[in-house]
Structure 1
Amino acid sequence: MPANLASIRERARVLLQGICHVCPVCDGRRCPTGVPGMGGIGTGAAFRNNIAALAAYQVNLRVLHDRKDQNLGLRLFGQKLAFPILGAAVAGARVNFQGRLAEAELARAFVQGAAEAGSLACTGDGPVPELIDAGLQAIAGAGGRGIPVIKPREDTEIINLIRRAEAAGAPAVAIDVDAAGLVNMTRAGQLVEPKTVAQIAGLARGTSLPLILKGIMTVADARAAVDGGAAAIVVSNHGGRALDHTPGTAAVLPAIAAAVGEKLIVLADGGVRSGVDVLKMLALGARAVLVGRPLAIAALGGGPAGVKLQLEALADDLAVAMRLTGCGDLGDIGPQVLCGQYLDFVRSKLSTLAK
């Protein structure tokens, strides 16, 4: 098995030939119509916007301070995590990766690799049962160290899948509400739909697990999630794979976090490629981040060991970024570490919407 990230990426490049270029900078420019595959939907603008929104912020270098030791640990959904970086849900190996990795192997790589690194990974759902089955089996096999993400199906189907998540020992369960328009589900004859506040409330009451809503991109939807009793949200545009021309998540995260961040847990994904990107998302109001494409490449090229190595590399990079911005622990990270074109907006939103 490859022993370093360079060899893992090279192995993944060979396995993914014709699907993903495994670019040195994963920014969507060479795969604008890669669905199925690794790219964004339509023009790929939403994928690229995630990268651009993060790049619009710069980081203030600070080295005259006493924060010599960096503590990246936190508790999330009752779990002790080594760092605030989780695996995002990546599924559909038969379609997206043309079967070059079995669904069960993909799910296990994410869940087991994240667990061994001291974190959690999400698992996916889709039009064929093997996707949700593989994820739940991987979670059960890792002692419950994973979060299943369920499509916004009919409520009775969601409850049935939540029961299976409970049985697998999952610490939380998620619904990727931004999958309400996915054609691969409707073409397979499976209903996916937008959810009302009343529906979310019914689902939240139907389980003792924290309910996470993934795919929140506006303050209005974030407040609706609060009203529905969600325990957490993920600010996400589905990796640019749901709706073309949506903004990058880092552009909308500050307003959402300021509006609801005291009422539920705010997570974020979209374009995170380095520990500095993690730092930026945390400074903008996220409690933790989810990472998808880099871990998918690591899983293809190195299995669970590859995922573990990629997560640990991101965490190491985050620790350096924290030290060089004067942050000793996650609680020190705030808007003061940032500069850039959105900074005045961030500060104004944090001071007004949070009131």
Structure 2
Amino acid sequence: MQEVRKAAHERMKGFCRVCRECDGRACAGEVPGMGGLGTAASFKGNVEALADYKLRMRTIHDVSAPSTSTSVLGYALSIPVFAAPIGGVSFNMGGQITEEEYILSKVKACDANGIVGCTGDGVPPFISEAGFAALTAVNGNGIPFIKPWEGDEFFEKIEKAAATGCTTFGIDIDAIGLITLAKMGRPVAPRGVERLRALIEQIPGQVLLKGVMTAEDAQAAAEAGAAGIVVSNHGGRVLDHTPGTAHVISDIADAVNGEIAVLVDGGIRTGADVLKMIALGADAVMIGRPFSIATVGGLEEGASKYIQQLTGELTSAMVLTGCESIEDANADIITDVLGQ
């Protein structure tokens, strides 16, 4: 991974610093780009919120070979991780590899290592087209995310996504605040529950809504017919000064009470971070920037090495907290920064 990160640093020079700690400080305000909007308080808040929770180390037990596998949204996962839908490497990450190379490498690495890769959408259209081609290459074993465009474009992309063989369709509803799209003259409008339900009813598969940060929106997503949600502030790239996702995930999970799947992203870097989010109530996590760095730095091999690193870290964290399975990861294995 040191070699992968070194290569990524060279290929992303001027676009991402590939910091030792990806916490949003060095790239604050660099949107469009990999940074956080404005002061980057939301990006930094994601990392800081996770750091507020500590794992309770336990060493007197019989857990030596924990099972890291789980099932979410019908996907059998080797670890409870999805690679988040980040696209646009040609203008957000330096363009040293093509969009097609990037997304195909990431999705194939996920497929080969027992997790699920997600593809993105945006402007220009080659972002979604490269994603659809990558999903076809893995027989639809991935999740395409499509922005809630007005008019025919949304359903045209849904049709193309369905042709890849995928069974789950993501909608990044947090895209309504993307400055990148606004600058390109392509702003995306929000939808209330009724309009969202009408949209979901026309999609030929289960729907995952990304961009939920409150219990009210989580309940509204369930009411609209979503199969799952992603608790996300879009990596801090759409609204400054939101809470970190680790601080809101528990209330959101409690609000839906198992009715729909609850995923979360934001500041997750290591296997220990994954375990924290599961303990806080998530069914699985999504990881964005670290996957992009690993893929740009080493293509399919780089992304695979990152997945293998996560697996090792998660396994170690489970042993040292006495978790024999993912189901054992609950509030009992964590404490907040005040020791409560």
Asked if the contact 1:58/1:339 (under 8 Å) is kept, the reply is yes
Say if 2:199 is the partner of 1:203.
Answer: yes
CA RMSD of aligned residues (A): 1.4
Q: C-alpha offsets along residues 52-92 of structure 1, whole Å, 9 cap, x if unaligned?
A: 00000011001111222211112233222111111011111
**What one-letter code is carried by the residue in structure 2 that aligns with 1:199?**
R
- Runs of 4+ more than 6 Å apart: none
Task: Give the distance between the partners of 2:306 and 2:220, measured in 1 at CA.
Answer: 35
Asked if the contact 1:79/1:171 (under 8 Å) is kept, the reply is no
Asked if the contact 2:32/2:180 (under 8 Å) is kept, the reply is no
Say if 2:149 is the partner of 1:153.
Answer: yes
Task: Give the distance between the partners of 2:52 and 2:131, measured in 1 at CA.
Answer: 35
Q: 5 Å matches for 1:214-253?
A: 214-253=210-249
Q: Find the counterpart in structure 2 of residue 31 from structure 1.
A: 27
Count of paired positions? 340
Say if 2:156 is the partner of 1:135.
Answer: no
Question: Quick check: 85-94 or 262-271, which moved more?
Answer: 85-94
Question: Quick check: 92-101 or 246-255, which moved more?
Answer: 92-101
**Length-normalised TM-score, structure 1:** 0.93
Among 279, 283, 287, the alignment partner of 2:279 is 283
Say if 2:171 is the partner of 1:175.
Answer: yes
Asked if the contact 2:36/2:235 (under 8 Å) is kept, the reply is yes
Q: 5 Å matches for 1:1-355?
A: 5-154=1-150, 156-341=152-337
**What one-letter code is carried by the residue in structure 2 that aligns with 1:73?**
S
Task: Give the distance between the partners of 2:218 and 2:335, measured in 1 at CA.
Answer: 26
Asked if the contact 1:77/1:171 (under 8 Å) is kept, the reply is no
1:98 shift after superposition: 3.3
Asked if the contact 2:179/2:238 (under 8 Å) is kept, the reply is no
Q: Find the counterpart in structure 2 of residue 347 from structure 1.
A: none
Task: Give the distance between the partners of 2:115 and 2:196, measured in 1 at CA.
Answer: 27
Asked if the contact 1:261/1:285 (under 8 Å) is kept, the reply is no
| Structure 2 unaligned residues grouped into runs of 5+ | none
Task: Give the distance between the partners of 1:94 and 1:319, measured in 2 at CA.
Answer: 35
| Structure 1 unaligned residues grouped into runs of 5+ | 345-355
Q: C-alpha offsets along residues 177-205 of structure 1, whole Å, 9 cap, x if unaligned?
A: 01112233233333411111112211221
Q: Secondary structure at the match of 2:90?
A: helix
Q: Secondary structure at the match of 2:134?
A: helix
Asked if the contact 1:276/1:321 (under 8 Å) is kept, the reply is yes
Asked if the contact 1:85/1:315 (under 8 Å) is kept, the reply is no
**What one-letter code is carried by the residue in structure 2 that aligns with 1:288?**
A
**Length-normalised TM-score, structure 2:** 0.97
Asked if the contact 2:31/2:180 (under 8 Å) is kept, the reply is no
**What one-letter code is carried by the residue in structure 2 that aligns with 1:141?**
A
Q: C-alpha offsets along residues 311-341 of structure 1, whole Å, 9 cap, x if unaligned?
A: 1111110111011101011110100000114
1:301 shift after superposition: 0.7
